[in-house]
Chains A and B, each alone.
Chain A
């Protein structure tokens, strides 16, 4: 399987990464290089092999559904590129 330029544009859009027109073809070639290489996995018969879920067998831990921290909005907002009164500021979403 290989990707064409349209597919590269589509997955870049899904991944929310802007790709300039000049970047599409080189990226396509690089991705196809990797996809051609991983295609060797097709030669292995994986019928009846379960997909790995976890490398270390253990039951998923549960914790009490309780508030353990909070009231730290100031600290959490400190890294915001743009903020006002504990709100993150973004470009207008709804006209």
Chain B
């Protein structure tokens, strides 16, 4: 394997080989990432940087490598979305209400990563409580995408909610990161930031220690620059966890093993309902191109229908706020988190602490959720939404009787300027139109960079698979990756003075 000149350009796979073969020490690799992170403050990708911890972890990795006791991710520097509780390292969920919270425990997913030898670089910025598609709802200010349109200086969003992780990976600050995905929060930022992002099947990764948003939809997953890198990270993240009753006891495949198996004979469904009015023509053109790529490699294209697709977003905006209103009831200014400075009585303390601690989008969703669960409205909204959710899941079951995976766009458009959609809630919500269905049905789905717009901004394609069939999803994603040969990378304007 010939390695890039700069260690920060190593893919996770290359970094793994280089560290194992001792062509570079974990400390050198981590040092290079820390330098890149220092030089990229203009992106605001991190809420908390942990360089000292990273170097200490890297030195331990180097010792384990010398002792021939290296783990599968030994010495590989990763960024962690600030939704994963990390022991003794501030975990904010992008919110003022948790801005001083230092967990006394470690999330299962990050525990698995450190046990595998990975190195923590820091905690990445995100939309507050993962509620957003642009990173603009963060209490710690928006993340700036490393990407800019050709010849333009306008700041663009990295997507959200895992926007800090997407920006960090796309800007080559680290070879991989964790994200979480409730309605598209891994895949949408990956798609518009030109990287790979995978939402595993619901139950594949433990949710224990991840700050809860909508518990029936939340799922952790990897973000990286290649499909193989995502497969490597996924393998390390998953586990059966007694601390999460929805964590599923199923065998974990070796996701790398069949990656190059190709798509000959694979039946690829093309869902008619994913062609939407108002999307730029480039979205549909890239989708057609992706289908052609798979066909040329021997896949069989199948026209399928998912008739309830148009209801997925409205269902999501009932179910997710309902669950959020329950999950976020715990923030009361008593046991941890922000407490108001002036309270007259306990009720006032709750109300003021929450009003001061939550941002506008979070308040809105809590109120919507409280309303749809309230007496007299539960049947009309929440119960109906959960029935629609059954129909959406059935659509997929029917489609998967005729195909093995589905191919769709990731987003209805490329990265947009900061501030452009913030005032129009529904146009912001529409960012997740192609991703939210997989959350409602619990299915694994992968975003793969597949091309650029006329002005040089990345676009992705999505592969959705059957429950627990991440292997096939990754194999099909790898076929897209090979055909797309995506080489675009952002110009490093943030290091220019």
Interface residues of A (CB under 8 A from B): 1, 3, 7-8, 11-19, 27, 30-31, 33-35, 37-38, 40-42, 44, 46, 49-56, 58, 60-61, 63, 72, 75-76, 78-82, 88, 90-93
Contact = CB atoms under 8 A, between A and B. Distances in A.
A11 B104 contact: no
B156 interface: no
Contacts of B42: none
B102 A27 contact: no
Interface residues on B, range: 35 or more
A82 B332 CA distance: 13
A16 B100 contact: no
Contacts of A31: 364, 367-368, 371
Interface of B: 100-102, 104, 201-203, 216, 242, 245-246, 248-249, 308, 310-311, 314-315, 317-318, 325, 329, 332-339, 343-352, 354-355, 358, 363-364, 366-368, 370-371, 374, 377, 380-381, 383-391, 393, 425-426, 440-442, 467
B354 A18 contact: yes
B388 A18 contact: no
A3 to B, nearest CB: 7
A58 B248 CA distance: 8
Given A40-B314, A58-B203, A90-B346, A50 B368 contact: no
Contacts of B344: 91
Contacts of B100: 79
Nearest to A75: B104
15 contacts: A1-B380, A15-B325, A18-B348, A18-B351, A27-B367, A31-B367, A37-B426, A40-B311, A49-B387, A52-B386, A58-B203, A75-B104, A79-B101, A81-B334, A91-B344
A80 B335 contact: yes
A42 B381 CA distance: 9
A80 B390 CA distance: 41
A17 B351 contact: yes
Most chain B CB inside 10 Å of its own CB: which residue of A8, A19, A61: A61
B339 A81 contact: yes
A1 B441 CA distance: 27
Contacts of A53: 386
B393 A11 contact: no
Contacts of A76: 104
- The list of the 9 closest CB pairs from A to B, nearest first, reads A55-B442, A79-B336, A51-B386, A81-B339, A75-B104, A18-B351, A18-B355, A46-B387, A38-B314
Given A38-B385, A51-B383, A90-B334, 18 more contacts: A12-B367, A14-B374, A15-B366, A15-B370, A16-B332, A19-B355, A37-B314, A41-B385, A44-B308, A46-B391, A49-B390, A51-B386, A52-B386, A52-B390, A55-B441, A56-B203, A79-B335, A91-B349
Contact of B246 (A41, A50, A56): A56
A18 B366 CA distance: 12
A81 B333 contact: yes
A72 B442 CA distance: 36
A61 B175 CA distance: 36
B355 A80 contact: no
A15 B352 CA distance: 12
A61 B101 CA distance: 31
A64 B346 CA distance: 37
A61 B245 contact: yes
Most chain B CB inside 10 Å of its own CB: which residue of A50, A56, A58: A56
Most chain B CB inside 10 Å of its own CB: which residue of A16, A54, A78: A16
Contacts of B347: 16
A26 to B, nearest CB: 9
Contacts of B385: 38, 41
A16 to B, nearest CB: 4
Contacts of A78: 102, 104
B367 A55 contact: no
Contacts of B345: 91-93
B329 to A, nearest CB: 8
A13 B441 CA distance: 33
A27 B393 contact: no
Given A44-B388, A78-B102, A14 B314 contact: no
B374 A11 contact: yes
Contact of B311 (A15, A34, A41, A75): A41
Given A8-B367, A30-B425, A55-B442, A41 B315 contact: yes
A56 B104 contact: no
A75 B85 CA distance: 14
B467 A79 contact: no
B337 A34 contact: no
B376 to A, nearest CB: 10
